[in-house]
């Protein structure tokens, strides 16, 4: 193993606890391939999420990163220039592990250059589409010190696609390139890949509503907030708690609908590849369990985060592994973890 790939393995748990859990389930060399690909996406997310520079400058940094993944001439020198500029535009409170990773962009790109050639188009395409989308929906935090939210549900889902659905599409290509049995089901998987990423991202948005608002961000649709007499500025007011919870439940229903094709995506992966299934099922089941905890829960808008416990995480992992080849048992577990939430997921928002 090269020093660059070893660095990627070592830094992964610092920037993503979830991926640090499920990537080791993947067979080699997919584990290293997905680690490197994820870290590039994490660098893009740090630029998008933590920058306080003007939108035009942020878009320029995102475009630079996308170009670097193509491994053109003198990419290493350009990578250091990119990292230096991007670091200068971050907010002072940016998480230190993400800041360190951004500073080591050249190391991650070196690891990318060492991956099999067939993986590069999938990864570069993902980073390009992701960064283009982030640039499209970027808000100038200097001009809008108070978060506004996104215009409507369609835009929120488009945002979820750019930051996570693109990863689902990339993973489908990588899985198919690794396994002929997956390649035989690629069309079926591709039809559900975007929903898989959207489901996970929308769940993250809902559980992080308060934290995002306090740091000046809001990814919720303004139309849904308005339907409940709310804005991003009034969402946390204790006097409006019942309205906020009703709005939350509408969006939990939306996220729950997205988990249904995500489950079908996971089950379309061949049972003969249990590692691929576990890689997808673990974060999906964590999301379903989280959505069940969010539904009707006013604590989402309070100071203490709403999250599943470490014991629940371990239990889900063990029970999923025991059932990984049994589709019927996995469907049953999916419904159980959701507390019946997904049974009513056909409602519209």
Q: For residue range 289-306, list pLDDT tens digits in order.
A: 999 999 999 999 999 889
In whole angstroms, give the CA distance from residue 260 to residue 32: 29
Q: Give the pLDDT band (50/70/90) at residue 215.
A: confident
- Give the mean model confidence (pLDDT) for residues 328-339: 95
- Give the mean model confidence (pLDDT) for residues 69-75: 67
Q: Residues 326, 283: contact at Cβ < 8 Å?
A: no
pLDDT of residue 343: 52
Collapsing DSSP states into helix, strand and coil, what is residue 26?
coil
Least confident of 45-59, 160-174, 316-330: 45-59
- Average confidence score pLDDT of the chain: 93
The answer for residues whose C-beta is within 8 angstroms of residue 6's C-beta and 6 or more apart is none
Q: For residue range 178-209, list pLDDT tens digits in order.
A: 999 999 999 999 999 999 999 999 999 999 99
The candidate with the shortest Cα–Cα distance to 164, out of 12, 276, 18, 306, is 18
Residue 171 has, within 13 A of its CA and on its CB side, a CA count of: 27
Give the position of tokens 């640039």.
135
pLDDT of residue 145: 60
The answer for residues whose C-beta is within 8 angstroms of residue 159's C-beta and 6 or more apart is 133, 137, 150, 201, 219
pLDDT of residue 313: 96
pLDDT of residue 74: 58
Select the highest-mean-pLDDT range: 13-22, 34-43, 61-70: 34-43
CA dihedral (286, 287, 293, 296) in degrees, to 10, reads -170
The better pLDDT of the pair 47, 342 is held by: 47
Query: What is the number of helices (H) and of strands (E) in the chain?
Result: 18, 0
pLDDT of residue 1: 73
- Give the mean model confidence (pLDDT) for residues 126-148: 83
* Residue 347 pLDDT > 50: no
Q: For residue range 221-259, list pLDDT tens digits in order.
A: 999 999 999 999 999 999 999 999 999 999 999 999 999
State the alpha helices, DSSP H only, in 208-297: 209-214, 222-227, 241-268, 274-294
Domains, the chain, with CATH or none:
1-143 (1.10.600.10), 146-349 (1.10.600.10)
DSSP string, 89-113: TB-TTS-HHHHHHHHTHHHHHHHHH
Number of residues written out for the chain: 349
Kindly report the backbone phi and psi dihedral angles of residue 288, in degrees, each rounded to the nearest multiple of 5, phi listed first.
-60, -45
Burial readout 197-222 (b: 16 or more C-beta within 10 A, e: otherwise): bbbbbbbbbbbbbbebbeeebbbbbb
pLDDT of residue 294: 97
- Give the mean model confidence (pLDDT) for residues 10-37: 96
Q: Residues 293, 308: contact at Cβ < 8 Å?
A: yes
Count the Cβ atoms, other than its own, within 10 Å of residue 92.
6
Kindly report the backbone phi and psi dihedral angles of residue 299, in degrees, each rounded to the nearest multiple of 5, phi listed first.
-65, -20
pLDDT of residue 349: 41
- Give the mean model confidence (pLDDT) for residues 258-274: 97
pLDDT of residue 141: 66
């Amino acid at each position: 193993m090269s020093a660059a790939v070893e660095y990627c393995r070592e830094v992964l748990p610092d920037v993503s606890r979830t991926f640090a859990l499920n990537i080791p389930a993947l067979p080699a060399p997919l584990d290293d391939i997905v680690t490197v690909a994820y870290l590039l996406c994490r660098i893009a997310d740090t630029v998008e999420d933590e920058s306080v520079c003007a939108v035009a400058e942020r878009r320029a940094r995102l475009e630079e990163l996308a170009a670097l993944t193509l491994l053109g001439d003198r990419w290493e020198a350009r990578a250091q220039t990119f990292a230096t500029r991007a670091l200068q535009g971050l907010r002072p409170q940016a998480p230190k592990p993400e800041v360190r990773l951004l500073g080591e962009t050249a190391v991650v790109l070196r690891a990318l250059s060492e991956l099999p050639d067939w993986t590069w188009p999938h990864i570069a395409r993902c980073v390009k589409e992701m960064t283009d989308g982030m640039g499209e929906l970027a808000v100038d935090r200097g001009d809008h010190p108070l978060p506004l939210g996104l215009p409507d549900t369609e835009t929120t889902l488009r945002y979820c696609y750019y930051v996570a659905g693109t990863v689902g599409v990339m993973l489908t290509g990588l899985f198919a390139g690794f396994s002929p049995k997956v390649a035989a089901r690629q069309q079926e998987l591709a039809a559900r890949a975007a929903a898989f990423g959207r489901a996970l991202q929308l769940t993250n948005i809902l559980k992080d509503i308060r934290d995002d608002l306090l740091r000046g961000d809001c990814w919720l649709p303004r139309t849904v907030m308005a339907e409940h007499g709310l804005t991003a500025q009034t969402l946390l007011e204790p006097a409006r708690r019942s309205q906020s919870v009703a709005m939350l439940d509408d969006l939990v229903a939306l996220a729950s609908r997205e988990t249904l094709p995500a489950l079908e995506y996971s089950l379309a992966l061949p049972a003969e590849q249990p590692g691929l299934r576990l890689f997808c099922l673990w974060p999906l089941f964590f999301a379903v369990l989280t959505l069940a905890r969010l539904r009707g829960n006013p604590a989402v808008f309070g100071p203490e985060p709403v999250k599943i416990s470490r014991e629940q995480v371990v239990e889900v992992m063990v029970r999923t592994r025991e059932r990984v080849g049994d589709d019927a048992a996995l469907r049953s577990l999916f419904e159980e973890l959701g507390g019946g939430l997904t049974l009513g997921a056909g409602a519209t928002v």
